[in-house]
Amino acid sequence: MANDSLFDVTDKCVALTGGAGVLCGAMAKALAGRGAKVAVLDIMDDAAAALCKQIAATGGTAFPVHCNVLEKTSVEKALAETVSSLGRADVLVNGAGGNKKQATCTPPVEFFDLPDDALRAVFDLNCLGTMLPSQVFGRHFARRGDGVIVNMSSMSAFRPLTNVGAYSAAKAAVSNFTRWLAVYMAQRHSPKIRVNAIAPGFFLTEQNRFLLTDENTGELTPRGEQILAHTPAARFGQPEELVGTLVWLISDAANFVNGTVVPVDGGFDAYAGV
């Protein structure tokens, strides 16, 4: 059907960095379920292998590929392995990223005292960890004359969230870089190369569980309660709820969508709190 082919991802070859994580793992499974071929690029080899085994068991095509997004040679090897496993690379999802407890100034911790190595780690993982794979896969897409990059931004890029200054600044950089790279790739290489970002709202995952729920009781922290009070949907998102936006962005349905950052947030960004 014409309408279905608009969102068709069959046989698209998709590399996801951080693909063994919660959000990109759900994306990898869903894409494979829709007939895409996925390469799970992650620093956690066992988790990537386990996910690919799970995908293969349901009839999907998925390969684990070792990749450290902070080392360009590692990303170059990962691209070569992706192409040899899948036959091509059509799409890069820059999903590796996250926050660190040591770079978070939950009271009474002061921002002034946060160790510089923790700040650097968070900034590098999110910002440089998006730029380096974009260089490597971007060159590949430039040579082919087409390709799609989807970055992972965050609500904290639009309006910085309390206590997570390094993460907020790094995600603001990811959103800014998304728009910059969209223009660069289209003007310097091919208007068929598109770069967009998804800005997820709040999804309860391992990297934010310590902020949103109490370690001992599992109850919401005051921060978790405030987030839900500011989310018109009144709940956290489910990782699978990012899939529709991803499928849209990488399919022909989004052929004229470039340089955007799409919130998937249950309305958090729209709500002023009044």
Ligand X SMILES: NC(=O)c1ccc[n+]([C@@H]2O[C@H](COP(=O)([O-])OP(=O)(O)OC[C@H]3O[C@@H](n4cnc5c(N)ncnc54)[C@H](O)[C@@H]3O)[C@@H](O)[C@H]2O)c1
Catalytic annotation, residues: 167
Whole-number Å distance between alpha carbons of 246 and 142: 21
For 159-223, the DSSP string reads SPPTT-HHHHHHHHHHHHHHHHHHHHHHHHT-TTEEEEEEEE--B--TTTHHHHB-TTT-PBPHH
CB of 185 within 8 A of CB of 141?
Answer: yes
- Sole window of 49-57, 137-145, 204-212, 226-234 interacting with ligand X (rule: CB under 6 A): 204-212
User: Which segments of the chain does DSSP mark as H helices, in order?
Assistant: 2-6, 22-33, 45-57, 72-86, 116-123, 129-144, 155-158, 165-188, 209-212, 222-229, 243-250
Whole-number Å distance between alpha carbons of 21 and 208: 13
SS3 273: coil
Q: Does 21 bind ligand X (CB under 6 A)?
A: yes
Q: Does 203 bind ligand X (CB under 6 A)?
A: yes
| CB of 138 or CB of 200, closer to ligand X | 200
* Minimum distance of ligand X from residue 130's CB (angstroms): 8
- Sole window of 8-16, 63-71, 142-150, 218-226 interacting with ligand X (rule: CB under 6 A): 63-71
SS3 41: strand
Which one of residues 125, 161, 164, 197 is an interface residue with ligand X (CB under 6 A)?
125
Q: Does 42 bind ligand X (CB under 6 A)?
A: yes
Residue entry with tokens 């290489």: 189
Q: Long-range contacts made by residues 43-46, C-beta under 8 angstroms, separation at least 24?
A: 43/67, 43/68, 43/69, 43/96, 44/20
267: left (phi over 0), alpha (psi -120 to 50) or beta: left
Q: Does 263 bind ligand X (CB under 6 A)?
A: no
* Minimum distance of ligand X from residue 29's CB (angstroms): 13
Closest residue to bound ligand X by CB: 21
* Minimum distance of ligand X from residue 109's CB (angstroms): 21
* Minimum distance of ligand X from residue 186's CB (angstroms): 24
Whole-number Å distance between alpha carbons of 108 and 132: 35
Write each residue from 74 to 103 as x if it is in contact with ligand X (CB under 6 A), else as -, in one continuous string.
---------------------xxxx-----
CB of 65 within 8 A of CB of 39?
Answer: yes
SS3 113: helix
* Minimum distance of ligand X from residue 246's CB (angstroms): 12
> Which 181-200 residues touch ligand X, going by CB under 6 A?
200
Q: Does 233 bind ligand X (CB under 6 A)?
A: no
> Which 206-225 residues touch ligand X, going by CB under 6 A?
206-208
Q: Does 50 bind ligand X (CB under 6 A)?
A: no
| CB of 42 or CB of 90, closer to ligand X | 42
* Minimum distance of ligand X from residue 40's CB (angstroms): 9
| CB of 89 or CB of 189, closer to ligand X | 89
Q: Which residues bind ligand X (CB under 6 A)?
A: 17-18, 20-24, 42-44, 47, 67-70, 95-98, 125, 129, 152, 154, 200, 202-203, 205-208
